[in-house]
């Protein structure tokens, strides 16, 4: 039995010349007469994607996090110069997540980059404002960089987020 993780869609199992495509989140059974020369190859793609928390977790309402395989990613201010990550907003369907190997960063790491916007919200020094449906505006487009969460806080004091703001289309509950 081979456990195919939930984050493993697109997994391929190869035994000799036969290739199988098991479903994620299941156990895949290989039952056959084995020979000492048999080789089993399991290829589990590590695709970056957004995840969301259960809706009853109020602190993460309308937020997303990035995962790549079993790793959770975070964004740090130090990697995202030129804008305040407090105002970063993503539209997950338009973020275009992509991976890039950086051999000089944090002793070699695969970073995930994506497209986002800087949220503009009236005067920044006012905590509360009268409600106006046109208050929220998407400012300049930016590219954000995320690193594996296990590597954060290795380059000095900086802001960090795992869960960040997302704007998604509203759908009907019926």
Helix (H) or strand (E) holding 34: none
pLDDT for residue 11 is more than 90: yes
Residues 6+ apart with CB under 8 A from 16: 38, 39
Indicate if the pLDDT at residue 125 is higher than 70.
Answer: no
Q: What is the pLDDT of residue 138?
A: 74
Q: What's the pLDDT at 107?
A: 85
Six-digit token string for 157 = 């004091």
Cβ contact 83:95 at 8 Å? no
Per-chain mean pLDDT for the chain: 89
Q: How far apart are CA 91 and CA 77, in angstroms?
A: 19
- Report pLDDT for 171: 47
Please check the confidence at residue 170 and state whether its pLDDT lies above 60: no
In tens, the pLDDT along 77-109 reads 999 999 999 999 999 999 999 999 999 888 899
Give the tens place of pLDDT for each residue, 12-71: 999 989 999 999 899 999 999 999 999 999 999 999 999 999 989 999 988 999 999 999
Element (DSSP H or E) covering residue 10: none
Q: How far is CA 29 from CA 5, 19, 23, 34, in A?
A: 14, 13, 11, 13
Helix (H, G, I), strand (E, B), or coil: what is residue 148?
Answer: strand
- Under DSSP, the state recorded for 85 is G
Task: Name the pairing type of β-strands 63-68 and 48-51.
Answer: antiparallel
pLDDT average, residue stretch 128-140: 70
Cα–Cα distance measured from residue 33 to residue 21, given in angstroms and rounded to the nearest whole number? 20
Most confident of 5-9, 54-58, 110-114: 110-114
């Amino acid at each position: 039995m081979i456990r195919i993780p939930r984050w493993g869609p697109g997994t391929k199992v190869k035994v000799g010349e036969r290739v199988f495509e098991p479903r994620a989140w299941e156990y895949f059974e290989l039952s056959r007469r084995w020979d000492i020369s048999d080789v089993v190859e399991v290829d589990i793609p590590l695709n970056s994607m957004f995840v969301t928390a259960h809706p009853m977790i109020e602190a993460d309402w309308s937020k997303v996090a990035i995962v790549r395989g079993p790793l959770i990613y975070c964004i740090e201010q130090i990697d995202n110069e030129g804008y305040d990550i407090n105002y970063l907003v993503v539209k997950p369907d338009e973020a275009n997540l992509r991976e890039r190997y950086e051999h000089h960063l944090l002793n070699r790491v695969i970073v995930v980059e994506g497209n986002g916007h800087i949220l503009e919200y009236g005067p920044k020094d006012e905590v509360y404002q009268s409600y106006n449906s046109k208050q929220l505006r998407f400012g300049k487009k930016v590219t954000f960089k995320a690193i594996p969460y296990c590597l954060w806080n290795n380059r000095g004091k900086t802001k960090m987020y795992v869960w960040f703001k997302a704007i998604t289309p509203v759908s009907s509950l019926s």
